[in-house]
Structure formats: structure tokens, C-alpha cells
Amino acid sequence: MPTKVDQMMNQRVRKGRTRFTAWTYRQYSAGFGAPLGPATIPGPLIEATEGEALVVHFRNRCPSPVTMHPHGLFYSNEMDGAYKGKYTDPGGFVQTGKTVTYLWECPEGTAGSWFYHDHGPLDPLPLYRGLFGGLIVRKPGDPVPDREFVLAFHSFIPPATGLRRAFSCVNGRSFTGVTPTLSARVGDDVQIHLMGMDDNFHTFHLHGHRWTEPGGNVVDNKTFGPGDSFGVRFTEDNPGRWLYHCHVFSHLHDGMSGWYLVE
């Protein structure tokens, strides 16, 4: 929260120290030559179409063993990226400086809003420091939305950060105006991908909007728990300065909230 201002309440936020060293996934050019962008939370968005396979070359530059474990895809047992004690495959325990290659497949039936995260021997502390990212699989020929956003609802907790206070976050940031400000224009095909990346239950509420789930339910506030992920899609029809937020009030007023600006 670099600005220390909550624009929703138009007030300064006092939470003591707010700086710690996060761990993130970061995309590199071939052979780990050079980073292709800044380190971000969530990490690089991985996108695929049904029928494709993902080959992920992963090098660990964190000071402790970490991994990549995907949700929603098809993968064989040894591509799980999970620590399993004496049953662990190499991809489930990647030591500092080591490289592994994961092969994950996206056959028919895997389309969805998914994510990947650390599942190594220190789970869940590395995840709580930021080791997670979005993963989207589309059906062949599905139109790409005009506006697409990936939002992780999560928290930074003292055992992971060493800070005195916990922080309720969207994409590593707290409080409206500091969290991602989304924007769209009337008529846009908008898709927002949500994921729950901590120990809490959250909801996604978007003011002035509603969306229809595949089963036909019309929703304007959706509950999701740890490890849940989903997409919200609608045609934009309502200009304004809107709030999106978690409707668990203690999370909302601890910063799990942001702007959605529609022209």
C-alpha cells in the first residue's frame, strides 16, 4: 500500500510497517536469459487452448525449495509439482538453483479459470509470500474478451511476512486505489477471473453489475473458498465509478476492495 490512502473511505491507513520481501513467479526468455517483465503478484498469466500442452521450464531462485503445482489441467502423477514426503517426484522438491520441466496437458474438458501455486515442502508459507499465478484454458474458437482481468483475493499474514499486522489483499495490494483499478467501456465483453489464495472464505461482489453462471443462476456476489477459482463474464452496460470487493466486511474494511471504472 505505497500511497497509504484508502480511497473508498478517503482516509489515511495506519498499519505500521508495510514492507517485506515477497516471493513471486517471473517469466524469463528462453534459457532463463532475461526477465520478460517485472516480478508481479500474481505471477505470469499462463494461457492455453483445449488440445494444447504446456511445457513449463521452472528454475528456483528462491532461498528455499519451491515448486509449481497446477489446478484444473490434466497431468501425470510425476508432473504434480507437489511435495509428498518419501513419495516425492523431482518436480515436487526443486532446490535453490535447480531447474525442472513440467508437462501439463489441456485436453477437452479442461477449459476454465485456474491457477498454479507452490506446493513444495514449505507449503503454505511460500504461497503466502506470493507464489501463485493465474492459468486460463479456453475452448477452441472461444472469443477472447475485450477486457480481461485476473484477481487473487488473499492475505499477507505475519508468519509469512514478519510484519506485525495482517493485510487483506487483491493481487498483493491493499485498499481501494492501491489494489488494481479495472476499466472498461460500455459494450465491452468483460471477463474477470477470481481465485482464493489464503485460508479464508471470500466473496466477489461487483457494484452495479450481475452475471449469469453456466447453470443459469444470476449472481452479483459469489462466495469462494481456499483454492476455488472461477470466471465472471458479462457485457458491460453501466458506466460509472464502481467498487468491486470481498463482502466479508472485516476483509472489505481491511483493504480487499478496488475500483472498476466504466466509460
- Give the footprint of Cu ion on this chain (CB under 5 A): 202, 246, 248, 251
As measured in angstroms, the least distance from the Cβ of 20 to Cu ion is: 21
Q: Which is nearer to Cu ion, 131 or 246 (CB)?
A: 246
261: part of which helix (H) or strand (E)?
Answer: strand 257-262
In the complex, the smallest distance separating the C-beta of residue 246 from Cu ion, rounded to whole angstroms, is 3
Q: Dihedrals φ, ψ of 86, to 5°?
A: -75, -5
Question: How many Cβ atoms are within 10 Å of 174's Cβ, its own excluded?
Answer: 23
Residue listed under C-alpha cell 505471477: 43
Q: Which is nearer to Cu ion, 121 or 226 (CB)?
A: 226
Task: Round to whole Å and give the CA distance between 47 and 156.
Answer: 26
Which one, 102 or 204, has the nearer CB to Cu ion? 204
**Smallest separation, CB 10 to Cu ion (Å):** 22
Please provide residue 165's backbone torsions phi and psi, each rounded to the nearest 5 degrees.
-115, 155
Taking the complex as a whole, the smallest distance from the CB of residue 202 to Cu ion amounts, in Å, to: 3
Q: Which is nearer to Cu ion, 173 or 251 (CB)?
A: 251
Closer residue to Cu ion in complex, CB, 185/207? 207
Beta carbon of residue 200, minimum distance to Cu ion (angstroms, whole number): 5
Q: To which H or E segment does residue 161 belong?
A: helix 158-161
Which DSSP string do the residues of 26-70 spell out, in sequence order? --B-GGG-SBSS---SSEEEEEEETTEEEEEEEE--SSS-B--EE
Q: What whole-number distance in Å separates Cα of residue 156 and Cα of residue 15? A: 13
